[in-house]
Structure formats: structure tokens, C-alpha cells
Amino acid sequence: MTGPFWKTKRLDEMSAQEWESLCDGCAKCCLLKLEDIDTGEIAYTRLHCRLLDAGTCRCSDYENRKAKVPDCVKLTPAKIEEIKWMPRTCAYRLVHEGRDLPHWHHLVCGDPERIHREGHSIMGRTKSEDTVLDEDQIDWIVDWKGNAP
């Protein structure tokens, strides 16, 4: 079978380089999420992880993120099925579900900035979690279009 790797390989068949290249840089997975203890419902906020570089939508210390942010989830092919809060537009989720990547994904269009220009990332729309007190995080809940599971 010929075609781009994301159409011909399962996530667990991809090389490390292919896997990493799937990330579109939306940074929606870096948003703080609050879980209702009674219902299990996940609420997304306009607060991002303290390690996120808001100007690039990339982790400022990707290699050491688990040591610095212990609850950071290291995404693996096996975890895609388990993690229900992954954005609907997440390339890992789309490939896992057998769907196509969106037209604005850098592997499709060749332009890594298009996602930001078209408003599919969180660039310019969030604040760092360290700027808000824990008890005030609920005030930052927002309905992110395309982010609900």
C-alpha cells in the first residue's frame, strides 16, 4: 500500500520521528482540564500548562516534562484509546480512528503555521496556570470548539 505514512501505518507501527511529526502543535492537550468528581465530566479551561511556550504552542522542556509536571500525560499508541479528553482534531486520535488529517495539518499542507493562522490552535487565547490561584481555575472554564471528546 502506498501513500503517506499516517494513512498506511497504525500508530504502533510508526517510527519515533513519524510519531512526533504527527503532532499538529495545537497545544489543546496542554490545557488544564477539570474533572467533575461526581459525573466524571471533563471541563476544559483557558489555562495552559506552565511549561507551554504560548508563543510557539510547544513545550518549553519536552524531554523533561514528566519530571517537572508529574501529571503530564506521555502519549503512546496504547493510551490514545484510554484518553477520552484528547481533542477531536488531534492527529493521533484521527489516525487511530482511521480518519484523514485536516487540510490545515502541516503534514498535509506543508505549512506548520497554518494551524495558528486558521485558529485551530490555542495560540494567543490562554494564560499560564501559574498566573491563577488553584481555587480560581473554575472561573477559566471555556467551551473550546472541537476540543470536546
Residue 148 lies in a domain: no
* 146 belongs to a structural domain: no
Question: What pLDDT score does 149 carry?
Answer: 35
Residue 16 lies inside a defined structural domain of this protein: yes
CB count within 10 Å of CB 133 equals: 8
**Residue-level pLDDT at 144:** 65
Long-range contacts, stretch 36-45, CB < 8 angstroms, 24+ apart: 42/84, 42/85, 42/149, 43/141, 44/85, 44/141, 44/142, 44/143, 44/144, 44/147, 44/148, 45/137, 45/140, 45/141, 45/142
The two beta strands, 42-48 and 127-128, are: parallel
| Residue 63, in any domain of the structure | yes
Give residue 148's pLDDT.
Answer: 46
Question: Could you give the CA distance from residue 68 to residue 121 in angstroms, rounded to a whole number?
Answer: 24
Domain that holds residue 115: 7-140
Q: Is residue 103 part of a domain?
A: yes
- What does the pLDDT read at residue 147? 52
Q: Report pTM.
A: 0.87
Query: Could you give the number of structural domains in the chain?
Result: 1
| Per-residue model confidence (pLDDT) at position 36 | 87
Digitized pLDDT (tens) for each residue of the chain, 149 residues in all:
688 999 999 999 999 999 999 999 999 999 998 888 899 888 889 999 999 999 999 999 999 999 999 989 889 998 998 888 888 889 999 999 999 999 999 999 999 999 999 999 999 999 999 998 888 888 888 876 655 43
Q: How far is CA 108 from CA 16, 54, 75, 90, in A?
A: 19, 24, 22, 14
User: Is residue 149 included in any domain, yes or no?
Assistant: no
